[in-house]
Amino acid sequence: MEITSGTISTDYIVIGSGVAGLRAAIELSRAGKVLVITKDRATESSTEYAQGGVAVALSDEDEIGFHLKDTLAAGDGLCNEENVRILVTEGPERIRELISWGAQFDREGGGIKLAFTREAAHSRRRILHANGDSTGREIERALLAKVRAAANIKKYDYSITIDLIVNDGRAEGALVWREREKKLTAIYARAVVLATGGLGQIFQRTTNPEVATGDGFAIAYRAGAALTDMEFVQFHPTSLYVPRAPQFLLSEAMRGEGALLVNVRGERFMPGYHPRAELAPRDVVSRAIVSEMLKTRSEHVYLDLRHLDAGFVRNRFPRIYSTCLKFDIDITEEMIPVSPAAHYMMGGVWTDRDGGTDMPGLYAAGEVACTGVHGANRLASNSLLEGIVFGARAGIAAAAYGLRRPAPRKEAIACKAADAPKDDLLKVRSQLRRLMWGDVGIIRSGESLGRAIDTIDGWREFRDSGPLSRPWLEIRNMLTVGELISKAALARKGSVGAHYRTDYKTRGRGWERHIRFKRD
């Protein structure tokens, strides 16, 4: 394969084109030229698949203090309260701003008032939604329109970031593989914002899109930035369970509107696990479902909406309704087979309240970042709000940093790569996903975590070198992230939030600590 290489420069780089990356790019464009790098098409991110909505204290029955309290409670004692306060306080203004940019949220009362729904662990109806169950897609549409109208923003689609360019401990750009052009490009910039999204694809069952292979986590780790709380992976309780079908997310809002969970014997079970039943925190619901599956020796439970008005269900959840029909399930007449799936990473690249990492020049926002607002267990529908609020803050801070810095000196950079059969890479990817689901999933133990660490270490050759291609770059990152999650989970000898160990069922000593990793 013939590979060409070159160097270019810009003022700012944003890696990722979900809600956090786009919001950061908008702020950065006020200070200079911005290059948005994404490894697939611009709209392919977890944002596009976010159904339920965005949580914000804007309804008549709600207050910022209630939103703060609910978020802290869901985080199970490990939230950064200062950053949670920023999230819930700045959230309303950021959503009003988004509406002024053209975002169309669902309304009621003849189109006069915004319509709100309720989701698990929320004490009020505060979830804004769009087109019933396509909220992320609508927010992304509005942000992309704003980005396309900005003359200072340029996009590189189908471009995979290999590593950050670091000089004297500062992030000064990114080494990028432009897949379609077969071109290796060193891109220099005054500051870099990492907004690559999540890592769900390292698990066999996930609601995340195929691009969510943990790239940003691994890239930051290799560069020398600190990562924290990597043991806290959230598993969504209800994803569609149909053999050989995608693990399509069935929104939390369905339970918020009255859907019930029953086991394969037709028995409703959540009241026996938590006082809030179906509206209990996600980690509680996920473990309850696993317990019922073990008890009934089944591979799923059911989500039941049959008691709700059929017309309401079709109008409220049009995307879910049509998707389930493709698999011959009419959700107004039949129960939906569901089981948990990896959904969201609460931990990530450590950042301060402005998205700054411990590496000068590197900022992070969205799911790849750990601001501490989610603690040990994210409150439903806070993720889109975090991306909007902290994406803007990261953009503002990175712009200010860049204006103080001279343009970095450009140098050609090589990438170490070697040949490896594609079939081997695909096999390791499949084995890793099964390993992470079985040994580092919803229920863990010291034995299973140790086994996972040893197995991943045996695949070291696939992480050290491989062919310059998307399959190798992704498996390289997935192995790094899988190891970090496993080691963090082994280090936390206790059960908190989404992290549950059968050999340490209580919180354990020193549970308030945050486990941080840095290379070497």
- The residues annotated with a catalytic role in the active site are 282
Say how many C-beta atoms besides its own lie within 10 A of residue 358's C-beta: 15
Kindly report the number of other CB atoms within 10 A of residue 425's CB atom: 19
Mode of pairing for the β-strands spanning 516-517 and 227-228: antiparallel
Strands 34-37 and 12-15: parallel
Contacts of 404 by beta carbon, 8 Å cutoff, 6+ apart? none
The SS3 call for residue 20 is helix
User: Which residue's entry shows tokens 């780790």?
Assistant: 221
Tokens at residue 296, please? 């009934």
Strand order in the sheet with 336-345: 233-240, 336-345, 301-304, 260-262
Q: How far apart (Å, rounded) are the C-alpha atoms in residues 471 and 137?
A: 27
DSSP 216-242: HHHHHHHHT--EE-TT-EEEEEEEE--
Q: To which H or E segment does residue 490 belong?
A: helix 470-491
Three-class SS state of 405: coil
Could you tell me if residue 46 is left (phi over 0), alpha (psi between -120 and 50 degrees) or otherwise beta?
alpha
Using only C-alpha atoms, the chain has a radius of gyration, in whole angstroms, of 22
